[in-house]
Amino acid sequence: METVKKMQSLTERDRQNIWHHISPYSEKNPPMIMEEGKGSWITDSDGNRYLDGMSGLWCVNVGYGREELAQAAYDQIKKMAYVPMTQSHLPAIELAEKLNEMLGGDYMIFYSNSGSDANEVAFKMARQYHQQNGDANRYKVISRYRAYHGSSMGALSATGQALRKYKYEPLSSGFLHVAPPDNYRKPEGMSVREYNIQKAREIEDTIIWEQKETIAAVIMEPVITGGGILIPDPIYVEKVQEICHKHGVLLIIDEVICGFGRTGQAFGHQHSNVKPDIITMAKGLTSAYLPLSVTAVRKDIYETFKSGEENSHFRHVNTFGGNPAACALALKNIEIMEKENLYDRSEELGNKLLQGLDEIRSYDYVGDLRGLGLIVGIEMVEDKETKVPASKERVGKIIADCKDNGLIVGKNGDTVAGYTNIITLSPPLSSTDDDIDFMIAVLRKVFKENMA
């Protein structure tokens, strides 16, 4: 009884004071109120335990309850809690060196708070870079439909998800969109490689049709994640880079979700033979223990901001970007990932998850099962022949039943009308074999009960 009263009290206090992120108001389904996390498991205020199959929002890469991360932040806060990045501090320097090592060198590191911030910085840098090179007309940025690049006005303009933008438009000008490769829905008779090359050439067509002298950059995630787990062939990213170089366009790779082992490599673009001009990252950089993001920029691009001419420097500031405690924690987070071999572990566990779920492919409403590292998508359809996307009710039932069985999964909600039909899985890279076995068992059970 006491627990029920406590829960009712917390729920009512929440309802009276908190406006929840990207959630429709519901009297019947109040948010879970979480109290504790350990490893891949979270516990709510009523004592219910759930395996977090989404790592929060694709971000708790090393799992919950890492005391060494808390200690790293605590030690730094005691020593020096805040330094604006108009100056510098040792954790920022060491983290920049480490990131450069992971990226193969040749980058300058600009610190911010979030993925949206990092992408806003990238767009401003790209535009100013071209201006200072005498290409003042280069201001347009090409993105892909279904991609997500953030919720601030510029980043949302780059985002290719109409439902995220609806009722907030008009947004920033100069953002264009092309279709991404969706291998599940490629034309019959065309190989995956041929199809991916074709989709890359559509970016070149857009550059030409829009007048190439007006294009500043192309931005893309290595894998479209929140938009439905769309995994390109490696040739796609390589061809896009080739096209960008050909036309003097910068290539921005958004590693906010794909970075730090999520795809089985340190960074998602490392599955292809590419060297991006600008790389943005957040989320797994600190495993979400503290806010921190990075915009990594090729050093030769940075050099154009050093001319000494009036207003040639990059006139952008972020109060909390590069916070000393967040940088110290990020260093410890990367150390854990490397010590525990979590990048390889991500690939190993991702393969185990895909293999364990292979039997659900035969169910009538499962159109596709796909993944890369510990990013897995289950595309649900109403009809396998036509590939008509499953209804939101059908997808919602799977999510609710998984929760009833102690597993949190996600979906590509509020993205593109009619195509919010992909169940998403993104557990911590530190998950145990038993954790993955639990996920497989619950998903098999739920799909069998709903689909057989």
Q: Profile the chain (452 residues) by mean pLDDT over runs of 10 residues.
A: 64 92 84 96 96 98 98 98 98 98 96 98 97 95 98 97 96 97 97 98 98 98 98 98 98 98 98 97 98 98 88 93 98 98 98 98 96 98 96 95 98 94 98 98 97 68
CA–CA gap between residue 430 and residue 16 (Å, rounded): 36
A 10 A CB-CB count for 319 gives 9
Question: According to CATH, where is 3.40.640.10 located in the chain?
Answer: 67-339
- Nearest one of 257, 249, 242, 234 to 58, comparing CA atoms: 257
CA–CA gap between residue 32 and residue 44 (Å, rounded): 7
Cα→Cα distances 299→109, 216, 276, 277, Å = 9, 18, 12, 9
Cα→Cα distances 51→106, 323, 401, 421, 431, Å = 40, 31, 13, 22, 10
CA–CA gap between residue 375 and residue 144 (Å, rounded): 19
CA–CA gap between residue 160 and residue 150 (Å, rounded): 10
| Residues in CB range of 62: below 8 A, 6 or more apart | 69, 287, 333, 336, 337, 340, 342, 428, 429, 430
In this structure, is the dihedral angle defined by the CA atoms of residues 185, 394, 425 and 177, taken in order, positive or negative?
positive
2-62+341-451 classified as CATH 3.40.50.300: no
Both structure tokens of 359: 């039997």
- The answer to whether 49 touches 406, Cβ cutoff 8 Å, is yes
What per-residue confidence (pLDDT) applies to 59? 98
Q: Give the torsion through C-alpha atoms of 411, 119, 235, 226, to 10 deg.
A: 0
Both structure tokens of 233: 């062939």
What per-residue confidence (pLDDT) applies to 4? 56
What per-residue confidence (pLDDT) applies to 311? 87
- Nearest one of 441, 433, 447, 445 to 40, comparing CA atoms: 433
What per-residue confidence (pLDDT) applies to 27? 77
CA–CA gap between residue 129 and residue 302 (Å, rounded): 8
Question: According to CATH, where is 3.90.1150.10 located in the chain?
Answer: 2-62+341-451
What per-residue confidence (pLDDT) applies to 29? 83
**CATH number of the domain at 67-339, please?**
3.40.640.10
Place of tokens 């998602």: 268
Rounded to two decimals, the pTM is 0.96
Stated length of the chain: 452
- The answer to whether 407 touches 40, Cβ cutoff 8 Å, is no
The burial class, CB within 10 Å (0-12 / 13-18 / 19+), for 110 is buried
What per-residue confidence (pLDDT) applies to 30? 86
Question: Three-class SS of residue 139?
Answer: coil
Beta bridge partners of 111: 294
- Secondary structure element (H or E) that encloses residue 377, with its range: strand 375-383
In this structure, is the dihedral angle defined by the CA atoms of residues 428, 414, 164 and 25, taken in order, positive or negative?
negative
